[in-house]
Amino acid sequence: MDYFAHETAFIDEGCTIGEGTKIWHFSHIMPNCKLGKGCNIGQNVVVSPDVILGNNVKVQNNVSIYTGVVCEDDVFLGPSMVFTNVINPRSAVNRKSEYAKTVVKRGATIGANATIVCGHDIGEFAFVGAGAVVTKTVPAYALVVGNPSRQMGWMSEFGHRLTFDASGIAICEESGEKYKLENNTVTKL
């Protein structure tokens, strides 16, 4: 075994878990999940059947990742955030065949207590603020906050707000990397 699982964690059959991944207290990795290398699964996390997590995904305590979710490499899922997988759940109606897919792209951050309504992807390096309720797709590098979430700006790959000049160029204060805003789309130069 080239990963760590706390003795109170449950890992069901058919899972693939990458080298160096850590699974902490009272977490449950359900059947046929794929967890990449170097992931950290905090306490009391539920990873439902067939979920895919890329490499270096950080899942904080009390997170629920439901069937239909795919997180690419370097995603951060903040404490107690949650995904949904059915748009109109009812206890008496079985909708397991209606699970909607949600993809969280490389490098995205989802803040504490945020909710991602199923079927809405989160773009590369997007930043979902704490407590936000995402009800539509979030563009790459976008900063969204509130309920329902609204875009409030743009973020660098290092997690800093970007301020664009008149020519549509911004520089990350930490990395010095340059970004271009054109047609409401940000790209790293």
Q: What share of the chain has pLDDT > 90, as a percent? A: 98
What is the predicted pLDDT for the residue at 88? 92
Query: How far is 40 from 31, CA to CA, in rounded Å?
Result: 18
pTM value?
A: 0.95
Give the model confidence (pLDDT) of 3-37 as tens digits.
999 999 999 999 999 999 999 999 999 999 999 99
Angle, CA 152 vertex, CA 151 and CA 158 arms, to 5°: 100
What is the predicted pLDDT for the residue at 1? 77
> Domain extents for the chain?
1-87+96-155, 163-189
51, two tokens = 């979920």
CATH number of this structure's domain 1-87+96-155: 2.160.10.10
- For residue 18, the tally of other CB atoms under 10 A from its CB is 18
Query: How far is 175 from 162, CA to CA, in rounded Å?
Result: 12
What is the predicted pLDDT for the residue at 37? 98
One DSSP character per residue, 120-187 reads --B-TT-EEPTT-EE-S-B-TTEEEETTTTEEEEEB-TTS-B----TTSEEE-TTT--EEEEETTEEE
